[in-house]
Structure 1
Amino acid sequence: MSKIAVLVTDFVEDIEYTSPVEALEKAGNDITVIEFEAGKTVEGKHGTKIKVDKAISDVKPEDFDGLLIPGGFSPDQLRDDEKMVDFVKSFLLASKPTFAICHGPQLFIQTGLTKGRKMTAYNTVRPDLYYAGAEVEDKAVVVDNNLVTSRTPDDLDQFNAAIVDTLK
């Protein structure tokens, strides 16, 4: 069993949170939802209520084996916070399993660690990744060592399979 951190805030794309979390839990992984404030409830774009387990100020990257960043409007808000960016940066630097879908890869741009990494994302995010030095591919799932990225909810079956497989 792996311990997986999930970074979210309000306006996350509901299915990009619920579907991967369900797949990860079904595979026996332990999920910790992290936001700015522990104990609060964030709301997805379509009304899903998500209880926050821990505040970003109360966790360390070394407490987790992997990281999930769902899309929606959440990643754009999270990337404005230095603690969130540093948390993500730690996973990339340590080559820990790191998963992001749709707008999730926006957080990678803030880390300065996209250069030369193979990635995909939502079509409006792909140019940003490219200009940040990533090798961008328009595929359902792109796996670059322990970094797994995906484009949209349409790709969730492939994304979920890839993230579960990466943790084996």
Structure 2
Amino acid sequence: MTRILILTGDAGESQEIYYAKFRLEEEGWQVHITAPGSPGDVFLSVVHDFEPGHDTYTEKPGYRVTIDVGLDEVDPASYDGLVLPGGRAPEFLCRRPQAVSVVKAFAEAGKPIAANCHGPLLLAAAGVTQGRTLTCYPDLEFLMSQAGARFVDQAVVVDGNLVSVRGWPDNSPWMGEFVKLLKARKS
């Protein structure tokens, strides 16, 4: 059975976590959410939206999310793909060696990785963006360039095993391309 890992945590974007989880489960695949903590622990996701008169997104409380596997117990070898939702979770996960190690293991194994919005911050922290073409939340263009990536401002970018999008409005093409990569790898 295909197994997918979603790496997120407090202030992860609700729409990116749950859209990915439910879309991948529709394929009949097993999806585990990992975050700092223990299985059964709950963290609060957020909803980012765009309001007239604001220079950037606003943040509202999202859904409670249950951890399936604690971050410290993750074995990347037992999963076929990795999902990196955005929100603010990637900002603090970048400072957690285990989170960075998980991302690096998936990248080094050439397994499909789906990164949304601020999710590419974890790719940069793992040192796997050099020479890669990707997209992300547009305000991160400078950071991605500093990490050696080529930023493209479009709905979805596929570069080898990496699928990236700008934010939750691009969820459909994000998971569409990720599913294609996973199916191609399994065939």
Which range, TM-score by smaller chain? over 0.9
- Paired with 1:161 and 1:80, the residues of 2 have a C-alpha distance of 30
Give matches, 1:95-106, under 5 Å. 95-106=110-121
- Paired with 2:106 and 2:62, the residues of 1 have a C-alpha distance of 29
Work out which of the residue numbers 139, 160, 173 in structure 2 matches 1:158: 173
Cα offset, 1:143, TM superposition: 0.5
TM-score by length of 1: 0.96
Cα offset, 1:165, TM superposition: 1.3
Give 2:44's aligned residue.
43
- Paired with 2:2 and 2:141, the residues of 1 have a C-alpha distance of 29
Cα offset, 1:121, TM superposition: 0.2
- After the TM superposition, which of the residue ranges 43-52 and 65-74 deviates more from structure 2? 43-52
User: Which secondary structure state, in structure 2, belongs to the residue aligned with residue 67 of structure 1?
Assistant: strand
User: Which secondary structure state, in structure 2, belongs to the residue aligned with residue 125 of structure 1?
Assistant: helix
Letter in structure 1 aligned against 2:134: M
Q: Which consecutive residues of structure 1, in runs of 5 or more, have no partner in the other structure?
A: none
Q: Which consecutive residues of structure 2, in runs of 5 or more, have no partner in the other structure?
A: 47-60
Give matches, 1:58-69, under 5 Å. 58-69=73-84
Letter in structure 1 aligned against 2:45: G
User: Which secondary structure state, in structure 2, belongs to the residue aligned with residue 116 of structure 1?
Assistant: coil
Letter in structure 2 aligned against 1:141: V
- Paired with 1:96 and 1:162, the residues of 2 have a C-alpha distance of 14
Sequence identity percentage? 35
Cα offset, 1:88, TM superposition: 0.3
In the alignment, is the contact (CA less than 8 A) between 1:23 and 1:164 conserved in 2? no
Cα offset, 1:2, TM superposition: 1.3
In the TM superposition, structure 1's runs of 4+ consecutive aligned residues that sit over 3 Å from their partners are none
In the alignment, is the contact (CA less than 8 A) between 1:101 and 1:149 conserved in 2? yes
Give 1:22's aligned residue.
22
- Paired with 1:70 and 1:2, the residues of 2 have a C-alpha distance of 19
Max Rg structure: 2
- Paired with 1:123 and 1:18, the residues of 2 have a C-alpha distance of 22
Cα offset, 1:27, TM superposition: 1.2
Cα offset, 1:47, TM superposition: 2.3
Matched, 1:78 2:96: no
- After the TM superposition, which of the residue ranges 19-28 and 97-106 deviates more from structure 2? 19-28
TM-score by length of 2: 0.87
- Paired with 2:89 and 2:117, the residues of 1 have a C-alpha distance of 11
| Count of paired positions | 168
Cα offset, 1:102, TM superposition: 0.3
- Paired with 1:70 and 1:48, the residues of 2 have a C-alpha distance of 14
User: Which secondary structure state, in structure 2, belongs to the residue aligned with residue 148 of structure 1?
Assistant: strand
Work out which of the residue numbers 144, 147, 157 in structure 2 matches 1:132: 147
